[in-house]
Amino acid sequence: MLLIHNGYMIDPRSGMEGKLDILIKEGQIVQIAPNIQVPGSCETLDAQGLLVAPGLVDIHVHFRDPGFPEKEDIHTGARAAAKGGFTTVVMMANTRPPIDNVDTLCDVLERGKDTGIHVRSCANVTMGMKGKELTPMKELAEAGAAGFTDDGIPLLDADIVRRAMEEAAALHMPVSFHEEDPALIENNGINKGKASAYFGIGGSPREAEIRLVERDLKLALETGACIHIQHISARESVELVRRAKACQADVCRDGITGQGVEENRGTQVAAAVRIHAEATPHHFTLTEEAVIQYGSLAKMNPPLREEADRQAILQGLADGTIDIIATDHAPHTVEEKGRDITKAPSGIIGLETALALGITELVKKGYLTMRQLLERMSTGPAAMYGLDAGYLAEGGPGDLVLFDPDGEVVCGEYTSRSSNTPFTGWHLKGQVKATVCGGRIVYRDGL
């Protein structure tokens, strides 16, 4: 048994919060109450002065496994996740070989079982991520895929996208989309504007994202699929999602589609059009100015854009248009990131800095309440994937994070195998003191 006592608990799903103890036995929460007394020996964590919340859920991570162990593997990625307060992650499928078949999927899921946290994985939408032929989506779903994505390579064939949405809708599973049209991009990872002008290159225009976001929202409304617009970067994309969600609400109210409620892998999910959007900590914190300052360490797809775009993302998070925060944890080696700006790969690590950035940039600055931040980093992403995670309740999973919202974090000394991030050296608020997964302490700092 594990007793967590003296902490201030926040459950974003039920809205319950207060000075409450939590008792976990055999991986599940068995009691939530003030001043729990446990007879006999029991492992305890004294959470005096700390917030106790559901273990965080990141539905967009790249653990580079199989194929790129010099960048990250399932075990090092999981340790970085635990240090950041995450107890559940969903890996992307752009590995080598890609996760477009049952054997590769089962391999990564099996190896994820002994990491100490819950490691899930998406499967690919198309074979070989070539955008031409759908994977055996039903077989992959039955083998344990959490959802489907070709993240890293946009899907350009609208017919393939429609068929993927229809198949995923029939399986009651989400499809996640990387929205950038390469036909409009001269140099990816750098915004076409001030940053591209600084480097003397063509860059990546906002229209590349807007075009595919608009297409996929339209197809989602037509097919009734659950879709996930990943790492929004442009203010126009935020507004498109806002309008689509309003249209979705009208459809549900009018009873045109999606009657009733169905059981979906452990959660109650309305059988209607479901549109979700994601923001990353780097997109709600930085602008293209960071690429000029940090070079390739701030190069990512889609790129950091203008201050007006960052403000739109902040507003989208505040009003619920953007309902998920995910890291897009993307490790690369020092050698790779040391290349010329046009040749260095895009992406940054994020699991160990995400909570502190959320607290510092969103809560401390008044954009979100702490409960709203935790909802967007746990309950919301878990619900989209139908995961039994992201909440605190008796009978629920014993997955928690204990953190000091005012504790100073100096970014650096990463557990991840990689260190490619512009946030190294930043002083933030929000120190993770312990992470508990399945009733076991998988990370602790001084407790």
Q: What residues act catalytically?
A: 328
Measure the CA–CA gap between 129 and 338, rounded to whole angstroms. 27
Helix (H) or strand (E) holding 177: strand 175-177
Helix (H) or strand (E) holding 238: helix 235-254
- Taking residue 334's Cβ as centre, other Cβ atoms within 10 Å add up to 9
Measure the CA–CA gap between 243 and 249, rounded to whole angstroms. 10
Measure the CA–CA gap between 421 and 227, rounded to whole angstroms. 28
Joined together, the tokens standing for residue 284 give 């709600």
Measure the CA–CA gap between 101 and 106, rounded to whole angstroms. 9
Nearest partner of 226 among 361, 381, 330, judged by Cα: 381
CA distances to 72, 73, 81, 149, 327 from 91, rounded to whole Å, are 12, 11, 12, 10, 11
Phi/psi at 67 (nearest 5 deg)?
115, -35
| DSSP label at residue 35 | T
- Taking residue 310's Cβ as centre, other Cβ atoms within 10 Å add up to 21
Measure the CA–CA gap between 374 and 382, rounded to whole angstroms. 12
* Alpha-carbon torsion, ordered 242, 247, 253, 258, to 10 deg: -100
Measure the CA–CA gap between 33 and 18, rounded to whole angstroms. 10
- Exposure of 98 by Cβ count < 10 A (0-12 exposed, 13-18 middle, 19+ buried)? buried
